[in-house]
Amino acid sequence: MSQYDIAVLGSMNMDIFVQVKDFPKNGENSFCEGIFPAPGGKGNNQAVSAAKFGKKVTMIGCIGNDSAGKQLKENLENRNIDTSNLLILDDIITSSCCAIIDKNGDNTLLVNMTANLALSEAHVTNVFNKIDVKALLVQMETSKESILAGLKAAKKKGIFTIIDPAPVNGIDEQYFHYADLIVPNSNETKFITNIEPTDEASALEAAKIIADKGVKNVIVKMGQNGCLLYQKGHSQFYPSMKVKAVDTVGAGDCFAGALASHFIEHDDLDAAIKFAHIAAGFKVSRFGGHDAIPTLAEINSVLTKYTELSYV
């Protein structure tokens, strides 16, 4: 039985980042500031984030037996992430994503799912029959069958399970009954509850609705407006750090990986949220993918000053 701190069940993409001053209008030809490829996918990003904070991570996903898939696998291995539980297929291409980022750091994503949707229930079930982990991170970018198989297996084995319900069109509320924690952003929260969280009061109202659907713990993320934790009938609001955002791509993934990493070590959601907030703050202040995720030393350098930081 192979042992890990965290298993990440999710997507792996080869991303193409396009920097623009402003998003082009329909039919408009315009110049861009730069174009470059980088490993991505929500699952991939979360695995790298958790591993960067010192945890032993295994990645459960699907890639094609092509150049992009080989690059993604090599990138994980270079970051000390286990790849023995990847499903590698000869007859499908590795998933890809185009991320267009404007001068404010806001982004629009176009994703070709291909291999991500080929992750099978049988493969996931087989993986959980041979691994022991402390926590499972799941997103909504692989097949529903694979997600449900992972959640059920984790529940049966008593593994702490965190759901990042993104993208919203992949959300199935039957997942909620298997989750220990869910971390929706504003858009995802509105999709689930019909309430747009913009402050502590609206976030609490929405969190109660989500909890009633079967999730034990809820963290509603509101970007620069902070986040709210709701558990066991009690809530706590956390303001966000004031930073100049240059690239918001992967910020939520950085948050999720940091949260899981800290929680399994300290069993304290309050402390884990503070840790994850700082990690995400560093991430959005830098342009780029995995290399923009901060180090443990960087976070610890400001963690003790958390209450003294400047907030929006």
Q: Is 10 annotated as a binding residue?
A: no
Q: Is residue 27 part of a domain?
A: no
**CA–CA distances in Å: residue 112 to residues 95, 101, 108, 123, 198:** 6, 18, 14, 21, 31
Question: In terms of residue numbers, what domain contains 81?
Answer: 2-21+34-308
Mean pLDDT for 190-216 is 96
Cα separation, 97 vs 109, whole angstroms: 7
Distance CA 240, CA 90 (A): 44
302 in a known ligand binding site: no
Q: How many domains does the chain have?
A: 1
- Residue 288 counted as an annotated binding residue: yes
User: Residue 226 domain-assigned?
Assistant: yes
**H or E segment and range at residue 49:** helix 42-52
Give the residue-averaged pLDDT of 20-39.
85
Residues 144-148 have a mean pLDDT of: 97
The two three-digit tokens of residue 32, written as one number:
């861009």
pLDDT of residue 306: 57
- Residue 13, amino acid: N
- 280 belongs to a structural domain: yes
Cβ proximity of 143 and 122 under 8 Å: no
Pairwise pLDDT comparison (154 vs 246), residue with the higher score: 154
Q: Is residue 292 part of a domain?
A: yes
Decide if 29 is inside a domain: no
Q: Is 116 annotated as belonging to a binding site?
A: no
- Is 285 a residue whose pLDDT tops 80? no
Question: Known catalytic residues?
Answer: 253
Total number of residues shown for the chain: 312
Residue 184 lies in a domain: yes
- Distance, CA of 179 to CA of 160 (rounded, Å): 8
Q: What is the DSSP string of 153-181?
A: HHHHHT-EEEE---SGGG--GGGGGG-SE
Q: Could you report the per-residue pLDDT of 269-279, keeping only the tens digit for each?
A: 998 998 888 88
Q: Flag whether 28 is in a domain.
A: no
Residue 117 falls inside a structural domain: yes
User: CATH code at 263?
Assistant: 3.40.1190.20
